[in-house]
Amino acid sequence: MSKLKTQIYISKVKSYILSNLIDLKYKFEICDLRFEIKKLLLGLLFFILILPVNAVESANNIFGIHLAQPQLEAIREASDLVNSNGGKWGYVTLVIQENDRDVSKWQSVFDSLRELHLIPIIRIATSAEGENWRRPEKKDADQWINFLNSLNWVVKNRYIILFNEPNHGSEWGGEVDEKSFAEVIFEFAKKFKEKNSDYFIMMAGFDASAPSWVPGMEDEETFLRRISNFQFPISKQTSNNQQPTSKTVFDYIDGWASHSYPNPGFSGSPLGRGRGSVRTYEWELDLLKDMGVSKNLPVFITETGWKRSKSYGLGVMGYLDESSVAENLKTTYTQVWQHDERVKAVTPFVLDYQTDPFLEFSWKLPSAKASEEQGFYQQYYTVQSISKVKGEPGQIEKGKISFDLPRELVAQSKYNFRVTLKNQGQGVWDRDDSYELKVMNDELRDSVLVSEIKDIKPGEEKIIDFSLKTIDEKEKKETKFSIIKNGKNILESKSWAFKVLPLPDLNVKVRFWPYGNAWGDDFEIQIFDIDDKLVFKKKGVKITNGEGIIKNVQNIALDELYRVVILKPGYLPRQNFIVFKSQDNTAEFKRMLPFDLNSDGKFDFKDLLKPFGR
């Protein structure tokens, strides 16, 4: 049974037990075994109520890829890979350096990820100083927060990885320093969480295979045990001698970033276990538990993968050709990672890297070969073919539904109205992503037809048309408009209250030029709304002594402005404007001119030729 079906089943059982508890209690009390049965019933009820229904998570597509650069072409190639074969909302890991904090650039990247249904995992980095990365400082946190907080993120969770492999001295200013790392990470994580609880913070991934060669490298276990001992105060001592409250780095960590490479030599078994394997994260989680970290941290494998090698050589532990790498990835995905509920994302390193030192990790062929072949190594197509799930990440839904609609309509009419939708959230409002605009009054749903929502991106505003049919008179009707996603109400408008009144009449007054009142039974009346759409037309209108009447004018709203046009063969049209009321509506026109001899609605040279048969 799937997770979703299990959740629905448990919820139904809960509802059934609760709704029938009183009835069951009554029936059981009339028998001699009522005491034992009541105990059994209460035990069953307790068991059902404590089942963790809400613990069942939304569907999650764990497939992802690491991008070296966030160009649009790479983002599209990533989406084709991780959202293939039933998948949606896979992951990409991206690195942002401190000298690349361009809001316009990265908002454009995020918008592309949103449209292609990719969830970003952002690893922040300093900048290179020679052969090392500059060691970050606590004061750097504010600049990072200001930058990242200015972006409209793709999904609600803002996945952040704080730096990279700190047990390598080259990643930390040239020297391993556990105390400095702990201080910086604590400051960053605490400030991020205080700024916005949607930040999902992960420590840097570690090199699990690094030896203890200080100051250049340190063993991961040694490094982690040391940083777990550092306590940081979060409140000052008060006058009543209260002891300061302190926390560790792990108190502000939400998930675990793991570099679960198949070592040794990036050529290990696809089913390997323990440290230095595709299951390195298991060893890391066990280590954290042994250190006293009680959190159940979800795992994000942000680096992993096999190194292709055509021959044995220095540093090469085994022969791995293109097909072997592809099969290893397929085996680990389908037999290990997909079956471990702790693993939320796997983003192998790297989609496209065409120079040393990572050329042999690249999934994309060099440009010269790509022009002749398919474009990617076999591992891309193999992983692309694996069955995936449609992810359902949480997104912040925010926006406005605005309208200016009439308050008085008339019976037996059809109207075309508009509402304006403004998207201020994270999702792209589109019918293909299960977004709908609906009226919330059940009585009106059969008489209202709403246009589909298409491609309304965050920050955009679009007009949606809807039609409404009225039948009988009604003293008052009221409804709201709502944006629905997957059957759930995510946004609601203000109320629209209106009356449906009897059909009004229209009196017509018109004269001919140069002589007096108009006569005839071949007049035509047309009525246009403020958008110049024809809403009513009637032919064969009879005018006697300059006056006529049209009974039961349909499709108009009271207190709204309309343009009324009068036509008669041989005469130029005349028009006037009128605001319709429930009664006493009169449209009076200027004298009609008998110059439209060819009845084309205008006076020109052709009218002069008409008497001559031309």
How confident is the model over 482-510, as pLDDT tens digits?
Answer: 999 999 999 999 999 999 999 999 999 99
At residue 28, does pLDDT exceed 60? no
Rounded Cα distance between 579 and 559, Å, is: 6
Q: Where are the beta strands (DSSP E) in 224-304?
A: 232-233, 246-247, 256-259, 299-303
CATH number of the domain at 57-345+375-385, please?
3.20.20.80
What angle, 0 to 180 degrees and rounded to 10, lies between the N-to-C axes of helices 378-385 and 322-335? 20
At residue 290, does pLDDT exceed 70? yes
Rounded Cα distance between 503 and 585, Å, is: 12
Question: What is the rounded (10 degree) CA torsion for 249, 255, 259, 263?
Answer: 100
Tell me the DSSP string of 589-606. Answer: -PPBPS-BTT-SSS-SHH
- Is residue 370 very low, low, confident or very high in pLDDT (cuts 50, 70, 90)? low
Q: How high is the mean pLDDT of the chain?
A: 89
**pLDDT confidence of residue 612:** 61
Least confident segment among 202-216, 367-381, 385-399, 483-497: 367-381
> Torsions phi, psi of 185, nearest 5?
-65, -40
Rounded Cα distance between 100 and 122, Å, is: 13
Q: Where are the alpha helices (DSSP H) in 346-405?
A: 367-370, 378-385
Domain parsing of the chain, residue ranges = 3-54, 57-345+375-385, 399-499, 506-612
- CATH (one of 3.30.9.10, 3.30.1780.10, 2.60.40.1120, 3.30.420.40) for 506-612: 2.60.40.1120
Kindly state the average pLDDT of the residues 502-523. Answer: 96
Taking CB atoms within 8 Å and a gap of at least 24, the contacts of 17-22 are: 17/44, 17/45, 17/48, 18/45, 21/45
Per-residue DSSP letter, 355: S
In sequence order, which residues have a C-beta less than 8 Å from that of residue 589 and are 6 or more positions away?
Answer: 508, 509, 510, 511, 566, 574, 575, 576
Least confident segment among 8-12, 171-175, 413-417, 474-478: 8-12
Tell me the DSSP string of 98-165. Answer: GGG--HHHHHHHHHHHHHTTEEEEEEEE--EETTEEPPP-GGGHHHHHHHHHTS--SSSSEEEEESS-
Question: What's at 532, amino acid-wise?
Answer: D
How confident is the model over 526-574, as pLDDT tens digits?
Answer: 999 999 999 999 999 999 999 999 999 999 999 999 999 999 999 999 9
Architecture of domain 399-499: Sandwich (2.60)
How confident is the model over 108-156, as pLDDT tens digits?
Answer: 999 999 999 999 999 999 999 999 999 999 999 999 999 999 999 999 9
Residue 18 burial (CB count, 10 A): 12
Kindly state the average pLDDT of the residues 238-247. Answer: 69
- On the CB side of 262, how many CA atoms lie within 13 Å of its CA? 24
Q: Do the domains 57-345+375-385 and 506-612 sit in the same CATH topology, yes or no?
A: no
Question: What's at 161, amino acid-wise?
Answer: I
Least confident segment among 104-108, 168-172, 315-319, 336-340: 315-319
**pLDDT confidence of residue 605:** 61
